[in-house]
Amino acid sequence: MTTVRLELVPDAALVRLARLVAVSVARLNGLHEDTVEDIRLAVGEACGRAVAVHLRHGVAKTIQLSFTDGPGLTASIVDRVRQPPASGSEAVRLLRAGPGRPPGAGDVLGPDGAPAVLALLEGLADRLDISTGAAGTCVEMRWDADD
């Protein structure tokens, strides 16, 4: 197993770099081009969400990305905006609400941003795991090896 790690300052212009690295790792791992396209889209959306959250909350720390191959590919995007600890559907509810606000009070990306991004990620990845905590939010996506 090989892991590629990348740290990006929260700048929307660098989302493209994250997509390029993800595509390169996916192609090196021999994934089908349709899967590579799903990975490109999902990583771009997840990184865009992380950048937007950092900028909205004035967090200058880097966004951490890692891509681990094996049978398939795992992509992990970690922002540094503090959240209450949660995982799974509870973490999704927190992200939709935004830091310090109850679920249903609007999300961190505007009226419909977080639900749309999370729904898109769920549709693109074979598996999506989200966890939140004091260190930030981790969005982990997994694509299985092509048969």
pLDDT tens-digit map of 8-35: 999 999 999 999 999 999 999 999 999 9
- pLDDT of residue 108 exceeding 80, the answer is no
The stretch 53-79 carries a mean pLDDT of: 95
| CATH code, domain with 83 | 3.30.565.10
Q: What is the pLDDT of residue 109?
A: 45
pTM of the predicted model as reported, rounded to 2 decimal places: 0.87
- Least confident piece of the model among 30-34, 85-89, 102-106: 102-106
- pLDDT of residue 104 exceeding 80, the answer is no
Look at 108 and 61; give whichever has higher pLDDT: 61
Q: What is the pLDDT of residue 117?
A: 86
Q: What is the pLDDT of residue 34?
A: 96
The boundaries of the domain holding residue 114 are: 3-143
The dihedral built from the CA positions of residue 52, 58, 60 and 62, taken in this order, carries a sign that is negative
Structure tokens at 69: 């191959």
Q: Tell me the pLDDT of the chain averaged across its residues.
A: 88
Q: Residue type at 30?
A: G
User: Distance of CA 2 to CAs 5, 70, 73, Å?
Assistant: 10, 7, 10
Number of domains the chain is built from: 1
Q: What is the pLDDT of residue 99?
A: 55
Q: What is the pLDDT of residue 113?
A: 55
Q: How many CB atoms lie within 10 A of CB 29?
A: 21
The stretch 29-47 carries a mean pLDDT of: 96
Structure tokens at 51: 């950048």
